[in-house]
Structure 1
Amino acid sequence: MGKNGQVGQALQQSLAALGHIVAVDRQRCDLGDPQTVLATLDAEQPDIIVNAAAYTDVDRAETEPELAMKINAHGPRLLAKEAEASGAMLIHYSTDYVFKGDKDAPYVETDSTAPQSSYGRSKLAGEEAVAQESSRYLLLRTSWVHSGIGKNFVKTILRLAQNQAALKVVADQIGAPTSAAMIAHVTADLISFCQKYAMAGLLPNQKIPYGCYHLTALGQTSWHAYACLILDLARQAGMVLKASPETVTPIPTAAYPLPAARPANSRLDTTKLRHAFGVSLDQWQDGVQQTIAQLAR
C-alpha cells in the first residue's frame, strides 16, 4: 500500500524477488476509506501486508488532525485486524515524531513516547492500534526519509539552491537521514528472515521476533550539516547551483517557526533491529550520495 510514495516505490523493486507482489495506490486502497481496504484485502488475500501509505504532511496535520488520525491510526487498525483474522503478517512504518525529542541519547524502542504534533500523535495511535490488533507485525520507526522522488529535504535544498545564492538551515535538530531504498532493502531482508524460519520449521512461527524496531541509517547529523553535504555532492555531480556549502548559514529552530513542532533529537537506536535480524545498515552519507546520483542523471 502506498505504491507511489518514496518508500512504496522502493519497495516494489526490493520485494519483487521475494514472490508475487501487488502494489496498490490510494485510488484503489484508501486508508481513510474502510470499504476500499476491505475490498482490496478480500480480492488479494495477502500473506504479507506492507503498509507504506500514510498522511505525511506534518504541518498541515495541525489543521487536519481528524484526517491524519483516520489515515495514520484508524486505517492501520483495520489492516491489523484483517491481518490477524487471516493469519497474514503486517509490516507498518512509523516515525521519530512519536518522541518528544529532548533525550540526550538516541531513543530505544522502550523509551516513553510523547509526540508534540498532530502528525506524531496520529502515528503513535497507529502504532498502538497495530500492537493491539495483531500478533504478527513488524513496526518499523524511521526518520528523515529521502529518495529521488516525492517531497523531501534533499529535493527542497536543491530547488532552493537553484534560485538562491545563500540559504539558512536549522542546526539544532539532529537525526539520521535515511534513504527509502535502504528502508525497502532492509524490509525485504526482514521478510526473508521470517519466511525462512517459518517455512523451514527451524523456529516456531510464534517465536519470530515480531514487534517494534528502529530502522534508520547509521550516524547522525544536523539539518544544516545535511544541507551542506547535499550541496557538496551535487556540485561534485555536476549540478549547476547558485548556493554552495559555504553559503549555508546555521540558524536555531526558533528562527524558523513552523506550525508543527519538530523533535530536537530524532536519533533512533537501531541495535535491537541489527541484533534480532542480523541486518546491515548504511551510513547516512551513503544514502544521500545515492539519492544525489539518482537526481543528477
Structure 2
Amino acid sequence: MTKFRPCIDLHDGQVKQIVGGSLRDEGGGPIENHVAEQSAGWFAAKYRDDGLTGGHVIKLGPGNDAAAREALSAYPGGLQIGGGIHAGNAKQWIDAGASHVIVTSWLFDPGGELIESRLQQLIQSVGRQRIVLDLSCRRVEPSDSGELAWRVAMNRWQTLTTVKIDHATLDRLSAYCDEFLVHAADVEGLCQGIDADLVARLASWASRSATPRPMTYAGGVATMDDVTKIETASLGKIDVTVGSSLDMFGGQGCRYQDLVKRNQAARSDH
C-alpha cells in the first residue's frame, strides 16, 4: 500500500513550502506557499508521535544546518536528510540522527555528467543501506521515437543533467542506494495535480525490476484523489510526499490526520 512520507523543507532556517521551480541562485527569494510558525523540531516530534517513518528533511540552500539538526535530534532514526550532502559530510549527518542521506547535486560534474566514483565514495562513507538517491527531474522534449522523457535536475532543480529517468538508469543506480526519491520539479508546490506520466514510468520500473528499491514520489499532489492515483498506478509500490496542499502547511486539499490514519490502516493490514 502506498505510504505517506512526511517532509520538512527548510529555507533560511524556517520550515516552508515553496514552488520548487522558483528556487534561484541569482537573487530574489522563491515563491512561498507557506511559512510555518513552528520549528523544524516541532514537526519532527509530531511525525515521531504519529508513528510516521521514512520522511525527509531537505535543506534548500545555506543557513539550515541548525534547524536540520534540531529535527534529527527530535526524531533520531526517523528522518532522512538532504541538501548539500556529499561523502565528506554524510557520516556526520547519520551520526546526528538521520536514518539516510539524500544525495543529488554532488554526484554530477558542472556539465551534468554523473560521476559514478562518487557513488562508491558514499557507499564507503555510510554504506549502501543509508543512501537515498534523489532523482528529482524535469520533463524534456520527447525522444525521436516520441517517447516521453525526463532528466534529473541538480542545483536545487535549476540545472538539467544528462541522466534520463528510465528503466536502464533505475536498474543501474539501484546498486548504489537503499531508496529513490523523485520530485517532479515542474509541478512541485503548484497543487495542480501530479505528473501522472512520470508516476506511470516509475511504477512500471517498480513492478518489473529485478532489484526494486523503495521509491517516494513528490510533486503536485492536490487532493487525496492524487494519492489514490499513485497507489493505483504503482500497485502500492510507490510512496508519496504531500506538501503544499496539506492543511498543516496552510493547504486545503489534504488533511494531515487522514494521511496518518491511512498509514495506520496500512500497518494494521500487515
TM-score range, shorter chain: 0.3 to 0.5
Higher fraction of helix:
1
Under a length normalisation based on structure 1, what TM-score does the superposition of the two structures give?
A: 0.34
Structure ID, larger Rg: 1
Which protein has greater RCO, CA pairs closer than 8 Å, 6+ apart?
1
TM-score for the superposition, normalised by structure 2: 0.36
More strand by share: 2
